[in-house]
Structure 1
Amino acid sequence: MSPYEAVVLAGGAARRLGGADKPAVPVGGRSLLERVLAACADADRTVVVGPRRPTPGRSVVWTREQPPGGGPLPALDAGLRATQGPLVAVLAADQPFLTPAHLATLRAAVPDDADGVLLRDRTGRDQPLTAVYRTEPLRRELALAVAEYGTLTGLPLHIVLSGLHLRRLASDDTLDCDTWADIAAARARIRDHGQVLDEWIAAVKAELGIDPDVDTKALLDTARDAAHSVARPAAPLSTFLIGYAAALHGMSPLEAAAKVSDLAHRWSEESAGTVNAEGTGDTRDTRGTGSPEGTDAGSGRP
């Protein structure tokens, strides 16, 4: 797939949030801006247009629109001036559910005879700030708008987009957050049972500045084996030791988890008396009156 750069628009007055710093609003333990930056982590360069904010683990280029607060077109122009490549993802910083898969789908959908592709959400609205554009046509239309209007300040996005040949890609989701009700809904969605674990793992990775390829199912299976075969506290301690071993010995977490699961099964079999002293699977009960030959295991008398 073709390389790309990303421009993230992180300014704006957020009037429907009462003037709050919307990109810094936390959803699931990470700011909206952090979540969007995670979605475009594979971009060759990421330009953020807006006031500087913390971006743990990410190196980005910061710039500001002129004048500050001048609207989406001055912000877009400022972002493009800091890019070099032929393809650019233009993103709003208020999309907690934007994923690398969304951007990969958009990039793959840019046809040779079009200037870009943008998402159309489930309500039928075009999302020009969830889009991938060819850079040169976008720069051309910005220059034409300046020539016609004398400024980009206060102009709506459609002034520029109307001159582009764009493809629309339908989505069954709505990704952006405009109001506090949207924020509340996003926070509730992240805590949904079917999604909360993946969201928590992603938040922990971001907090610790790590990005291992975690097989969540394998680790949960191992934690279950340790809890059931040994004792409940063995589950969190075992997963900690898996991570420690992976870091110390350079083995994959999956390999370490498999070793611990196998150990837990052996531990359980031994505790149940299903292996003999040589570990060869003697399943006879050798305790008390159930000892072989019908003898008293303590005295050896019949």
Structure 2
Amino acid sequence: MRADKMPGSALPVEGSADFSCAAVVVAGGASRRLNHVPKASLSDGTSTLLDCALEAVATASPRVVVGPESLPLPSGVLRTREDPPFSGPAAAIHAGLECIAADCERSQTPAPDWCLILGVDTPRIAPAVQQLLAAAREAERAAGFSPADPEASAGFWGVSEGIYQPLVGIYRFEAIRSVFSTGTTDASVRSFLRRLNPAAVQMSAADTADVDTWEQAQALGYTTSLWSSY
């Protein structure tokens, strides 16, 4: 089932009419521990990992998937690719952010205030995404929150059982775009995100469980690949 046809597991954020948030889904990795089977293609018989990621960020606009041309995407979802391909998630985030900026320029719409960053391999991530959206909304309301303050946090990232989740986060769009503007090829995502001083959002290990190996795919029920390569 395609992401734009799935029943809504990601609920709209209450009072979010004036809250603008885009999303970058990183979906073009080499999947070496899966024998190069594309993670995005893995299905539980109903939805692929790509479907799950797009549904989790369904309230974001625009949504950008960073991955190859062969990825099947719903109407309205943007696509781009890191340059060069397979040069890592930091390069993919850079490509996704620049795609959002270019799309806003083309459509003559303001850039979003916030941007979700999500990997494609966390099928149960929707509740965690809602936590991130709630944290960002609260930051908007909080007295004294100033993105211009160098000591202030420019976003939030997930932490599960003491482990930071660099591909589960939400950040001020202009701040993260600036940080990821150069030097991202084959670089560490965390090294860039730390410059944003992100605040931690505690998350359930069940929500953030990811698929890096066939054992993890089996445990989560995503074992059927719907396409064999990129």
TM-score tier by shorter-chain length is 0.7 to 0.9
1:54 alignment partner, one of 72, 79, 98:
72
Aligned partner of 2:219 in structure 1 is 185
TM-score, scaled relative to structure 2: 0.73
Q: Distance in 2 between matches of 1:169 and 1:34?
A: 24
Q: Distance in 2 between matches of 1:27 and 1:51?
A: 22
Q: Distance in 2 between matches of 1:58 and 1:114?
A: 34
Aligned 8 A contact 2:113 2:172 in 1: yes
Q: Distance in 2 between matches of 1:37 and 1:74?
A: 20
Q: After TM superposition, give the deviation of residue 73 of structure 1 in Å.
A: 1.4
Q: Distance in 2 between matches of 1:67 and 1:34?
A: 25
Aligned partner of 2:196 in structure 1 is 164
SS in 1 for 2:157: strand
Q: After TM superposition, give the deviation of residue 28 of structure 1 in Å.
A: 4.1
Aligned 8 A contact 2:94 2:180 in 1: yes
Q: After TM superposition, give the deviation of residue 58 of structure 1 in Å.
A: 4.7
Q: Deviations over 1:83-121 (max 9, x none)?
A: 23120000000111011x422221221333421111111
SS in 1 for 2:199: strand
Bigger drift between 46-55 and 109-118 goes to: 109-118
Q: Deviations over 1:32-85 (max 9, x none)?
A: 001111111111210000013123x55310101111111111111110012231
Aligned partner of 1:102 in structure 2 is 128
Q: Distance in 2 between matches of 1:38 and 1:88?
A: 15
SS in 2 for 1:109: helix
1:138 alignment partner, one of 176, 183, 186:
176
1:89 and 2:128 correspond = no
TM-score, scaled relative to structure 1: 0.56
Aligned partner of 2:163 in structure 1 is 125
Unmatched 5+ stretches in structure 2: 1-15, 101-110, 140-144, 146-151, 223-230
Q: Distance in 2 between matches of 1:6 and 1:70?
A: 20
Aligned 8 A contact 1:48 1:61 in 2: yes
Aligned partner of 1:12 in structure 2 is 29
Q: Distance in 2 between matches of 1:131 and 1:181?
A: 25
Amino acid at match of 2:95: A
Aligned partner of 1:115 in structure 2 is 154
Q: Distance in 2 between matches of 1:46 and 1:77?
A: 14
Q: Distance in 2 between matches of 1:31 and 1:58?
A: 17
Specify the structure having the higher radius of gyration (Cα): 1
SS in 1 for 2:221: helix
Q: After TM superposition, give the deviation of residue 128 of structure 1 in Å.
A: 1.4
Amino acid at match of 1:138: I
Q: Which has the higher helix share?
A: 1
Structure 1 segments (4+ residues) deviating >4 Å: none
Q: Distance in 2 between matches of 1:118 and 1:176?
A: 16
Q: Distance in 1 between matches of 2:62 and 2:33?
A: 31
Higher relative contact order (CA 8 A, sep 6+): 2
Unmatched 5+ stretches in structure 1: 189-302
Amino acid at match of 2:72: P
Q: What is the total number of aligned residue pairs between the two structures?
A: 179
Aligned 8 A contact 1:27 1:96 in 2: no
SS in 2 for 1:97: coil
